[in-house]
Amino acid sequence: SNPGSAFPGPKTDGFSKSGFILAAIGSSVGLGNMWKFPYITGKYGGAAFFLLFIICLIVVGLPILLAEMAIGRGGRGNAASSLFNITGKKQWKWVGAISVVTSFLIMSYYGVVAGWTLHYTVGSFSGALNKPGTDYSATFTAFAGGYMPLFWQAVVMLITGVIIAKGISGGIEKFNKVLIPGFLIILVILMIRALTLPGAAAGVEFFLAPDFSKLSAASALTALGHAFFSLSLGMGCMLTYGSYVQKDQSLGKATLAIGAGDLIYAFIAGMIIFPTIFSYGMKPEAGVGLAFMALPAAFAQMPFGFLFGGLFFLLLAIAALTSCVSILEVPVAYAMGEWKWSRKKAAVIVSVASFIIGVPAALSVGGVLSFITFADKSIFDLFDFVTSYILMPVGGLIVTIFTGYAWKRAGDEVGLSGWWYRIWMFLIRYIAPILIILIFLYSVGLLNL
Ligand code: PHE
146-170: pLDDT as tens digits: 999 999 999 999 999 999 999 999 9
Rounded Cα gap, residues 253 and 92, in angstroms: 28
Distant-in-sequence, close-in-space partners of 127: CB < 8 Å, separation ≥ 6: 306
Q: What integer pLDDT is reported at residue 449 of this predicted model?
A: 66
Q: Which atom of ligand 1 is nearest to the CA of 237?
A: 11
- Mean pLDDT along residues 102-122: 95
Alpha carbon separation from 326 to 32, 163, 381 (Å, rounded) = 14, 10, 22
Give the pLDDT confidence of 194-209 residue by residue, as tens digits. Answer: 999 999 999 999 888 8
Residue type, 230: S
Nearest Cα to Cα of residue 79 among 242, 240, 232, 285 = 240
Q: How far is the CA of 305 from the centre of ligand 1 (A)?
A: 28
Q: Which of 76-80, 321-325, 390-394 has the lowest mean pLDDT?
A: 390-394
Task: Give the residue, by CA position, lying nearest to ligand 1 atom 6.
Answer: 232
CB 215 within 8 A of CB 48: yes
Task: Give the residue, by CA position, lying nearest to ligand 1 atom 11.
Answer: 232
Residue type, 21: I
Domain 3-443 CATH (choose: 1.10.287, 1.20.1730, 3.30.70, 3.40.50): 1.20.1730
The answer to whether the pTM exceeds 0.90 is yes
Q: How far is the CA of 111 from the centre of ligand 1 (A)?
A: 11
Say whether pLDDT at 1 is over 60. Answer: no
Q: What integer pLDDT is reported at residue 233 of this predicted model?
A: 96
Say whether pLDDT at 284 is over 90. Answer: no
CB 343 within 8 A of CB 336: yes
Q: What integer pLDDT is reported at residue 4 of this predicted model?
A: 38
CB-based pocket (< 6 A), ligand 1: 27-28, 30-33, 106, 229-230, 232, 235, 237, 323, 326-327
- Mean pLDDT along residues 417-437: 94
Task: Give the residue, by CA position, lying nearest to ligand 1 atom 10.
Answer: 232
Say whether pLDDT at 7 is over 60. Answer: no
pLDDT band per the 50, 70, 90 thresholds, residue 11: low
Q: How far is the CA of 48 from the centre of ligand 1 (A)?
A: 24
- Domain boundaries along the sequence of the chain: 3-443
Q: How far is the CA of 33 from the centre of ligand 1 (A)?
A: 9
| Alpha-helix runs per DSSP H in 231-304 | 237-242, 251-279, 287-288, 295-301
Radius of gyration of the chain (CA): 21
Q: What integer pLDDT is reported at residue 42 of this predicted model?
A: 80
Q: How far is the CA of 229 from the centre of ligand 1 (A)?
A: 6
Say whether pLDDT at 5 is over 80. Answer: no
CB 294 within 8 A of CB 70: no
pLDDT band per the 50, 70, 90 thresholds, residue 46: confident
From 64, 98, 103, 110, give the residue whose CB has the most ligand 1 atoms within 8 Å, as the site to mutate.
Answer: 110
Average pLDDT, the chain: 91
- Mean pLDDT along residues 293-303: 90
Say whether pLDDT at 2 is over 70. Answer: no
Buried b (16+ CB within 10 A) or exposed e, 32-45: bbbbbbbbbbbebb
Backbone φ/ψ region at 176: left (φ over 0), alpha (ψ -120 to 50), beta: alpha
From 232, 324, 328, 329, give the residue whose CB has the most ligand 1 atoms within 8 Å, as the site to mutate.
Answer: 232
Q: How far is the CA of 1 from the centre of ligand 1 (A)?
A: 39
Q: How far is the CA of 179 from the centre of ligand 1 (A)?
A: 16
Q: What integer pLDDT is reported at residue 291 of this predicted model?
A: 85
Q: What percent of the chain is predicted at pLDDT more than 90?
A: 70
- Mean pLDDT along residues 425-439: 93
Does ipTM exceed 0.95? yes
